[in-house]
């Protein structure tokens, strides 16, 4: 969400569109006005708690309502756009209702699947015959709660067709596609280090090292490659999370880079030979698109959003492979042991990424706004927050 929001702000600056972004942070209260683009960052307090190592929730966030009202009074938005059921999203929905403003909402996280995955510790305690049905019940109830929240918006956005159809069915609201773009100047094969014929193949992963990302499967792939005699490889794992210590212990042929940003992240992507992303729950997969832009083919699962990015074909348009968990090792070996195919995939990955611009994404978002605004405002949109 933060990644997309930053690019949304940049789009507003390029187009000189009045835009207010209200977000949560861990610093002191901060307000900035840069031309038509305003930002208000509000700190989380002592009552906030961790949902993940880099993700928190503050139940006392309503204390910021007065300053939010003050800034909204000055900005005078035509609509409010929330990015999920966070503390900011909940307040945004309430403020839209109070101020009688149209509300748009975008879906960025499969919260129902995440909660089901996080409940594995509990499900393992149940008899096998009850475990699967209980897990599905948790997922269904969470989806129903999320759909109820999203149904208060007049228009919805989601990063892939499957989620759009799910939201439309669950909420009765129109849902527009809101995929992701990529910076193809920053993420580029031009940053790739000089080729060395004896260098190990670099298998990359980037993301939160947590159970819902299915990162424990990386250790299984690591061991399967060695067992099948493919030993000249190393994993490059970018990110942090609860499973990091477990992975370090079980993956001796892996380097853990921590969280990277900017040029350091781009350099890391460019050094990879193949991007290995076993998540089943990602709604889109920004990291997959960044890898493709760096000319790195990707192996992804047949679940979630990344399968809509990766082209698994038998011709020169292939940008990677789509495989179930048990097929990842075969997919990796099929690419890395065929240098000609690997290079063709590299070229196709970069070519595909060059077609994915942030401007086209946000032009589509603004087109969706027009469906919920009075006709006299459709040509002078003034805010999203």
Where are the domains positioned within the chain? 2-182+357-377, 189-353
| Neighbouring residues of 247: CB distance < 8 A, sequence distance ≥ 6 | 209, 215, 216, 218, 219, 237, 254, 256
Instruction: Please tell me the predicted confidence (pLDDT) of residue 385.
Output: 36
Give the full edge-to-edge strand order of the sheet including 80-82.
Answer: 80-82, 103-106, 155-158, 174-177
Percent share of the chain, pLDDT over 90 = 69
Backbone angles phi, psi at 238, to 5 degrees: -110, 130
3 state DSSP class of 33: strand
Q: What is the mean pLDDT of the chain?
A: 89
Q: What angle do CA 235, 239, 245 make, to 5 degrees?
A: 75
Q: How far is CA 15 from the centre of its chain?
A: 24
| Neighbouring residues of 18: CB distance < 8 A, sequence distance ≥ 6 | 12, 36, 37, 75, 382, 383
**Class level of CATH domain 189-353:** alpha beta
DSSP string, 190-254: GGPPPP-TTSPEEEEEES--SGGGTTHHHHHHHHHHHHTT--SEEEEEE---TTHHHHHHH-TTE
- Rounded to whole angstroms, the Cα distance separating 275 from 265 reads 14
| Neighbouring residues of 227: CB distance < 8 A, sequence distance ≥ 6 | none
Chain segment 332-362, per-residue pLDDT in tens: 999 999 999 999 999 999 999 998 889 989 9
For residue 66, what are the CA distances in angstroms to 71, 91, 95, 208?
A: 9, 11, 11, 34
Q: Is the pLDDT of residue 68 over 90?
A: yes
- Rounded to whole angstroms, the Cα distance separating 203 from 277 reads 10
Chain segment 121-137, per-residue pLDDT in tens: 555 666 666 666 666 67
Q: What is the pTM of this model?
A: 0.74
Chain segment 20-63, per-residue pLDDT in tens: 999 998 778 899 999 999 999 999 988 887 766 566 788 999 99
Q: Domain 2-182+357-377 falls in which CATH fold?
A: Rossmann fold (3.40.50)
């Amino acid at each position: 969400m933060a990644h997309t929001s930053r690019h949304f702000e940049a789009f507003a600056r390029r187009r000189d569109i009045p835009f207010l972004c209200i977000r949560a942070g861990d610093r002191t209260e901060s307000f900035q006005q840069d031309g038509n683009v305003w930002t208000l960052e509000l700190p989380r307090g002592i009552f906030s708690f961790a949902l993940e190592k880099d993700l928190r929730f503050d139940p006392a966030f309503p204390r910021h309502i007065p300053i939010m009202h003050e800034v909204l009074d000055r900005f005078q938005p035509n609509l409010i756009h929330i990015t999920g059921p966070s503390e900011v999203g909940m307040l945004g929905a309430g403020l839209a209702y109070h101020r009688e403003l149209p509300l748009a909402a975008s879906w960025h996280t499969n919260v129902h699947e995440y909660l089901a995955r996080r409940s594995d510790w509990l499900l393992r305690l149940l008899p096998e015959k009850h475990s699967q049905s209980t897990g599905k019940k948790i997922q269904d109830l969470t989806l129903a709660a999320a759909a109820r929240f999203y149904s208060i918006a007049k228009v919805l956005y989601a990063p892939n067709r499957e989620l759009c159809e799910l939201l439309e069915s669950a909420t009765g609201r129109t849902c527009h596609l809101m995929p992701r773009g990529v910076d193809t100047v920053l993420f580029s094969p031009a940053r790739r280090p000089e080729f060395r014929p004896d260098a190990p193949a670099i298998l990359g992963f980037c993301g939160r090292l947590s159970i819902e990302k299915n990162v424990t499967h990386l250790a299984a792939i690591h061991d399967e490659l060695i067992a099948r005699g493919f030993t000249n490889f190393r994993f490059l794992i970018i990110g942090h999370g609860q499973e990091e210590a477990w992975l370090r212990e079980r993956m001796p042929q892996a380097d853990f880079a921590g969280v990277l940003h900017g040029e350091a992240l781009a350099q890391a992507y460019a050094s990879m030979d193949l991007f290995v992303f076993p998540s089943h729950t990602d709604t889109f997969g920004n990291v997959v698109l960044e890898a493709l832009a760096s000319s790195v083919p990707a192996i992804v699962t047949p679940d979630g959003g990344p399968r809509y990015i990766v082209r698994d074909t038998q011709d020169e348009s292939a940008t990677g492979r789509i495989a179930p968990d048990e097929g990842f090792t075969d997919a990796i070996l099929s690419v890395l042991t065929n240098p000609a195919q690997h290079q063709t995939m590299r070229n196709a990955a970069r070519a595909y990424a060059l077609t994915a611009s942030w401007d086209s994404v946000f032009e589509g978002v603004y087109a969706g706004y027009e469906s919920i605004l009075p006709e006299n405002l459709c040509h002078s949109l003034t805010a999203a927050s």
